[in-house]
Amino acid sequence: LPATTSINKEGKELRSPICCILGHVDTGKTKLLDKIRQTNVQGGEAGGITQQIGATYFPIESIEQKTKVMEQYEKLSYEVPGLLMIDTPGHESFTNLRTRGSSLCNIAILVIDIMHGLEQQTLESIRLLRDRKAPFVVALNKIDRLYDWETIPNNSFRDSLAKQKSSVQAEFENRFTQIKVALAEQGLNSELYFKNPNMSKYVSIVPTSAVTGEGVPDLLWLLLELTQKRMSKQLKYLTDVEATILEVKVVEGLGTTIDVILSNGILHEGDRIILCGMNGPIATNIRALLTPPPARELRIKSEYVHHKEVKAALGVKIAANDLEKAVAGSRLLVVKEDDDEDEMMDDVMEDLTGLLDSVDATGKGVVVQASTLGSLEALLDFLKDMKIPVMSIGLGPVYKRDVMKATTMLDKAKEYAVMLCFDVKVDKEAEQYATEQGIKIFNAEVIYHLFDEFTAYQEKLLEEKRKANEGSAIFPCVLKTLQIINKRNPMIIGVDVTDGMVKHGTPICCVKPDPVTGKKTAMLLGTVASLEVNHESKSSVRKGQTNAGVAMRLDPPSGQQPTWGRHVDEKDGLYSLISRKSIDVLKDPAFRSTVPREDWLLIKKLKTLLDID
Ligand code: GDP
C-alpha cells in the first residue's frame, strides 16, 4: 500500500482528504472519476493510483503531474499525501454525508451537466450538502459539448476557454450565467473558482469535461487548495480510529464483510470492533483486513490482499463474524485496553436510536425504510419538511414483518398505510403480502419521486372516498323560484341560483313556520333529479354560471309529498337541506379542498336558518 500520511511544512502529520462525488444521474460522475484515474500518457509513470475498497487513492505525485498546467495561473503547493475519492457515486453518497458521527467526507464534488442545468437529484444533493453543512465545489461538466468547442486534452479550463472562438465563449457565458441564477434560486451564491471573492460565502464552480480532461487540473488544484488551506486541522492525522461502514456485502468464501473507509487511525488484524447493528450493537474481532489486488496483477476476482494493519486514510474490506446485521453508514469503534465495551455499544447505537426522534408520537404515519443510515437520515429530514408523519423506521431490505407494521395503519389512518422506501430491495414475500393487505410500497432512488408518488396516491385515495360519499356530501345553495313548470309528479321548478351551487342529488327544502308551534321548520320538497339550462342537461349549476333560468326536476320525498300552491309557492326561498352529518362529510379531507370559501360562509348562514347546532 502507498504511504497514507505526509508531514507538512509545520511538521504536522496529515492524512489524505476524503472526497465524494454526487449529482444527478448521467451528469458524468463515473466518467469524471475515470478521467482522473487515467494516467497521463506523456508523463508516463503517474503511478501509485490505487483502487481501494469503495474508493480510489490518488497519491500526491499523480496529482502534481495532472495539475502542472495550472502553473501559469496559480502557485502550487502539495502538502497532503494524496486524495481519497469515494467512488460509489450516486445515491450511495447519502451514506457518506451524516449529520453526526461521521468524518467520512471532507469535501464533495457536485456534478452538474452544463447542457442540462439543475435537475432533480441536483436539488436533492444541494439540500443534503446544505443540511449537513458539507463543503463542496461544483464541477460544471460536459463543456466539450458546447457548440464548436475546440479540445486541448487535459488542459486547464482557463487556457482552453481563452483559446475558444468568441461564439463558444459567449455560449459558455450564457449557460454559466443561467446556472448561476438557478443556484441563487436555491439560496447558493456561486462564482467561477478563479473569480471567487470569498470561498466561505461563494460556492466555486469548475467547468470540466470528463471526456477531454479539460478542467480536471483546475478541479484537482481546487480540491487541494481548499482542503490544504482551509481544513488543515481536520486533516491532521489522529491515532484514534475513525471509520465508517460504506457497505455490508456477502463475499463468497468470506461470508458477510463490511467495506469501511478508515479516516483516521490504524486498524489491525484481530482488533476488537463495535458496530451499530439492525437489532442491537455488534462486538466482534477483525478476522481479515483486505484490499483489492494491484491492477497490474491479473488475479482471479475474489482474491484480495491481506494486511496485518492498515493506516488512514483508506478504504478496506473487513471480514469478521456476526456482521450480517451491521448497518451501512454507521461508525466503527475499536476497543482499546481500558475501554468500557458496554458504553461503546450504547454510543455506537446512538447513530440509529437518535433517528427514532423523528417517529411521530401519536403512532400515526408512514413506514420508512432506507439502505443506509445516511440515506435514512436524509429521507427523514425531507419527510419532516413535507409534514408527512413517520410511524416506524427501518434499514435494509423490506421483509414481511416491515410490511406488517404498516398494516396497523389500515384502520387508524388508511392514507398512511404505505411504505416509503429509498434505494432498498423488497423481498418477494413482502411484496405479495403488501398487495394482499392493500399496503402500497413506494420505492425510489430520488427522494422527490417518493414524495410525488405518495402525494399522488393520497389524492387517489381521497378521490375514491369522494366517490363513495358523494351521496352524503350536500353542497349549499339558495334558489329563487322564477316559475313553476310542473306542480307535482314530478315537481319541476324554473329557478335562479342566487347563492352556492345546486347539484344532482341535493335535497331541496323550503322553510315555513310550523302551523301549531309557529317555529321555523324545514320541509323537504324532493332531491334534485335533473337540471337543464336552455334544454341542456347539467350535473350542477353554480351561482353566476348562467343568466338563463334553470329547470330543476325533483324526485319526491318518500313520505308526504308537498303540493305546490298549498305547502310551498313562488314566494318561498328554496335551500339545500343540509344537516350536521352532511357538514361533517364536507369537512373531511376528501371534500374540504373542493368546497370554496364562500360555500363555507353560506353553510354557516344555512345552519342558522335551519337551526343546526
Ligand atoms: P453518472 O451517471 O453521473 O455516473 O454519468 P456517467 O459518467 O455514466 O456519464 C453519463 C454519460 O455522459 C456517458 O455516456 C458519458 O460518456 C457522458 N459524459 C460524461 N461526461 C461527459 C463529458 O464531459 N462530455 C461528454 N460529451 N460526455 C460526457
SS (H, E, C) 429-494: HHHHHHHHHCCEEEEECCHHHHHHHHHHHHHHHHHHHHHHHHHHCCCCEEEEEEEEEECCCCEEEE
Ligand 1 close to Cβ of residue 30 (< 6 A): yes
Ligand 1 close to Cβ of residue 29 (< 6 A): yes
Least confident range from 130-134, 154-158, 283-287, 291-295: namely 291-295
Q: Is the peptide bond before 313 cis (omega within 30 degrees of 0)?
A: yes
How far is it, in rounded angstroms, from Cα 328 to Cα 11? 36
Grid coordinates standing for 346? 450504547
pLDDT of residue 56: 87
> Which of 26, 113, 114, 146 for a ligand 1 pocket mutation test, highest count of atoms within 8 Å of Cβ?
26
pLDDT of residue 101: 59
**Mean pLDDT, rounded, for 544-573:** 90
Ligand 1 close to Cβ of residue 209 (< 6 A): yes
Ligand 1 close to Cβ of residue 100 (< 6 A): no
Ligand 1 close to Cβ of residue 95 (< 6 A): no
Confidence band for 302, pLDDT divided at 50, 70 and 90: low
Q: Which amino acid is at 353?
A: T
| 87-106 residues labelled b (16+ CB within 10 A) or e (exposed) | bbbbbbbbbbbbeebbbbbb
Provide φ and ψ at 313, rounded to 5°: -100, 135
Mean pLDDT, rounded, of the chain:
90
pLDDT of residue 89 exceeding 80, the answer is: no
Ligand 1 close to Cβ of residue 28 (< 6 A): yes
* pLDDT above 70 coverage of the chain, percent: 95
Ligand 1 close to Cβ of residue 31 (< 6 A): yes
What is the pTM assigned to this prediction?
0.79
Task: Give me ligand 1 centre to Cα 429, in Å.
Answer: 37
Ligand 1 close to Cβ of residue 66 (< 6 A): no
Task: Give me ligand 1 centre to Cα 57, in Å.
Answer: 22
**Mean pLDDT, rounded, for 62-83:** 90
Task: Give me ligand 1 centre to Cα 35, in Å.
Answer: 11
Least confident range from 33-42, 394-403, 450-459, 583-592: namely 33-42
User: 598-611, pLDDT tens digit by residue?
Assistant: 999 999 999 999 98
Q: Which residue has the CA at smallest separation from atom 9 of ligand 1?
A: 28
pLDDT of residue 55: 87
Helix (H) or strand (E) holding 399: none
pLDDT of residue 278 exceeding 70, the answer is: yes
Task: Give me ligand 1 centre to Cα 456, in Å.
Answer: 32
Ligand 1 close to Cβ of residue 445 (< 6 A): no
Q: How far is CA 559 from the centre of its chain?
A: 58
Task: Give me ligand 1 centre to Cα 32, in Å.
Answer: 8
pLDDT of residue 398 exceeding 80, the answer is: yes
Q: Are strands 309-311 and 266-268 parallel, antiparallel or unpaired?
A: antiparallel
Q: Which amino acid is at 101?
A: G
Confidence band for 362, pLDDT divided at 50, 70 and 90: confident
What ipTM goes with this model? Answer: 0.99
**Mean pLDDT, rounded, for 467-471:** 85
Nearest to 113 by CA among 169, 64, 184, 178: 178
Ligand 1 close to Cβ of residue 225 (< 6 A): no
pLDDT of residue 40: 47
Provide φ and ψ at 57, rounded to 5°: -105, 125
Task: Give me ligand 1 centre to Cα 44, in Å.
Answer: 26
Q: Which residue has the CA at smallest separation from atom 24 of ligand 1?
A: 142
Q: Are strands 366-370 and 418-422 parallel, antiparallel or unpaired?
A: parallel
Closest approach atom of ligand 1 to CA 142: 23
* pLDDT above 90 coverage of the chain, percent: 62
Is residue 28 within 8 A of residue 20, CB to CB? The reply is no
Closest approach atom of ligand 1 to CA 33: 7
**Mean pLDDT, rounded, for 420-439:** 94
Least confident range from 37-46, 162-171, 408-417, 581-590: namely 37-46
CA distances (Å), origin 343, targets 41, 114, 271, 274: 53, 50, 18, 10
pLDDT of residue 442 exceeding 60, the answer is: yes
Edge to edge, the sheet with strand 331-334 lists 282-285, 272-275, 331-334, 242-251, 255-264, 314-319, 288-291, 305-307
User: 172-214, pLDDT tens digit by residue?
Assistant: 999 999 999 999 999 999 999 999 999 989 999 999 999 999 9
How far is it, in rounded angstroms, from Cα 584 to Cα 579? 9
Assign 3-class secondary structure to 510-576. EEEECCCCCCEEEEEEEEEEEEEECCEEECEEECCCCCCCEEEEEECCCCCCCCECCCECCCCCEEE
**Mean pLDDT, rounded, for 342-362:** 90
pLDDT of residue 41: 42
> Which of 31, 32, 175 for a ligand 1 pocket mutation test, highest count of atoms within 8 Å of Cβ?
31
**Mean pLDDT, rounded, for 379-398:** 90
* Cross-strand bridge partners of residue 136: 108
User: 14-46, pLDDT tens digit by residue?
Assistant: 999 999 999 998 999 989 988 888 754 444 444
pLDDT of residue 297 exceeding 70, the answer is: no
Confidence band for 406, pLDDT divided at 50, 70 and 90: very high
pLDDT of residue 92: 61
Task: Give me ligand 1 centre to Cα 206, in Å.
Answer: 16
pLDDT of residue 268: 97
**Mean pLDDT, rounded, for 302-306:** 81
How far is it, in rounded angstroms, from Cα 219 to Cα 225? 10
Q: At what angle do helices 428-437 and 400-407 cross, to 10 degrees?
A: 20
How far is it, in rounded angstroms, from Cα 491 to Cα 314? 86
